[in-house]
């Protein structure tokens, strides 16, 4: 990796802290592209982070997540909060269109310096996107945004990884989505801090609310645990959004009071250190397989003369 440009990094961080959008956008690109300056950026901004509230919003396609995020942004701006929105699309770069299309609805925020929006797409392997996303959120946190909204679609491993970073996860569901909802609910049950049954004017909404309440009730509870609330919303008309924000506020208060915020922080930090070391390992292994002995080892593997576990021993010097 090329040496970082210390002066450039320092200047960009100073500008970012002064609210300059271009500097923030450049720093985010450095994180996304795993630029040579990346480590230096992360080393410097980390001490400035840790103040923002980080909310995750997820749910199946068509649940109205983007509209919900839009409404959150409007309401939070009324309350004088600076808001950053990170939309994560783990599928192919080609599919960026779906989320970018949603983003058109967000144009009302274009001239508002208090709202920052960024979409992130696929990068690398072994959790590359979730790692980059988590570091982008740390960067936005250090830039002074009060609330960072992380919007993901679906419940793949990448999305679940990304949501580990969020302090409060809102899962949006809609009535009448059939079997896929059954599937989603299960994977989402474990990560939801709050359920929002959106498009609740539709028939079957009350049935879905009851189903979720039943599922939530099946989890173990004691007086220390958080009772996952199920809220009804119509995001397009703004119905139920203030109540949903109140629930998020209650969850944030509960996190602080019970020590769960720190516990989530520890889990996130362990993951972040692991992600950093995995990324280094990937890089060093790519290099090792480019050497003469690495290439020979690969041919021996292909000919079944050595097995992958023994090859791993050789490469790690054991």
Judged by CB, which is closer to its own copies: 193, or 241?
193
25-64 as b/e, with b when 16 or more CB fall inside 10 Å? ebbbebbbebbebbebbbeebeebbeebbbbbbbbbeebb
Residues 274-303, mask of contacts with its own copies (x by CB under 8 A):
x-xxx-xxx--x---x--------x--xx-
**Residue pair 37/13 in contact by the 8 Å Cβ criterion:** no
Residues 194-213, mask of contacts with its own copies (x by CB under 8 A):
--------------------
Of the candidates 21, 43, 79, 237, which one interacts with its own copies according to CB under 8 A?
A: 43
Judged by CB, which is closer to its own copies: 186, or 213?
186
**Residue numbers 124-153 binding its own copies by CB under 8 A:** 125-127, 129
Phi, psi of 119 (to 5 degrees): -100, 140
- CA–chain centroid gap for 217, Å, is 27
Q: Does the protein bind its own copies through residue 269 (CB under 8 A)?
A: yes
The full DSSP string for 257-312 is: HHTHHHHHHHHHHHHHHHHHHHHHHHHHHHHHTTSHHHHHHHHHHHTTSS-HHHHH
Distance CA 36, CA 33 (A): 9
Q: Does the protein bind its own copies through residue 14 (CB under 8 A)?
A: no
Q: How many binding residues for its own copies (CB under 8 A)?
A: 60
Sites of contact with its own copies (CB under 8 A): 39, 42-43, 46-47, 49-50, 61, 90-92, 94-95, 98, 125-127, 129, 154-158, 161, 179-180, 182-183, 186-187, 189-190, 262, 265-266, 269-270, 272-274, 276-278, 280-282, 285, 289, 298, 301-302, 304, 307-312, 315-316
């Amino acid at each position: 990796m090329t040496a970082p440009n210390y002066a450039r990094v320092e200047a960009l961080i100073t500008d970012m802290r002064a609210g300059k959008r271009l500097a923030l956008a450049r720093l985010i690109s450095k994180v996304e592209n795993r630029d040579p300056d990346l480590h230096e950026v992360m080393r410097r901004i980390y001490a400035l982070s840790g103040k923002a509230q980080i909310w995750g919003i997820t749910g199946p396609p068509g649940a109205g997540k983007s509209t919900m995020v839009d409404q959150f942004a409007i309401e939070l701006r009324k309350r004088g909060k600076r808001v950053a929105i990170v939309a994560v699309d783990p599928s192919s770069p080609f599919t960026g269109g779906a989320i970018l299309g949603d983003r058109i609805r967000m144009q009302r925020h274009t001239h508002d310096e208090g709202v920052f929006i960024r979409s992130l797409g696929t990068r690398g392997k072994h959790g590359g996107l979730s790692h980059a996303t988590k570091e982008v959120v740390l960067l936005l946190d250090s830039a002074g945004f009060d609330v960072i909204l992380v919007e993901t679609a679906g419940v793949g491993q990448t999305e679940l990884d990304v949501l580990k970073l969020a302090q409060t996860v809102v899962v949006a569901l809609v009535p009448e989505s059939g079997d896929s909802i059954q599937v989603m609910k299960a994977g989402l049950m474990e990560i939801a801090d709050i359920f929002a049954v959106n498009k609740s004017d539709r028939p079957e909404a009350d049935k879905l609310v009851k189903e979720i309440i039943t599922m939530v009730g099946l989890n173990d509870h004691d007086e220390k645990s958080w009772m996952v609330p199920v809220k009804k919303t119509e995001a397009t008309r703004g119905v139920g959004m203030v109540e949903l924000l109140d629930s998020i506020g209650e969850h944030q208060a509960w996190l602080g009071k019970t020590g769960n915020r720190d516990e989530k922080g520890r889990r996130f930090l362990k993951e972040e250190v692991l992600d950093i070391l995995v990324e280094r390992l990937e890089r060093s292994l790519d290099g090792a397989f480019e050497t003469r002995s690495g290439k020979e080892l690969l041919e021996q593997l292909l000919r079944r003369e050595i097995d992958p576990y023994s090859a791993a021993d050789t490469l790690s010097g054991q």
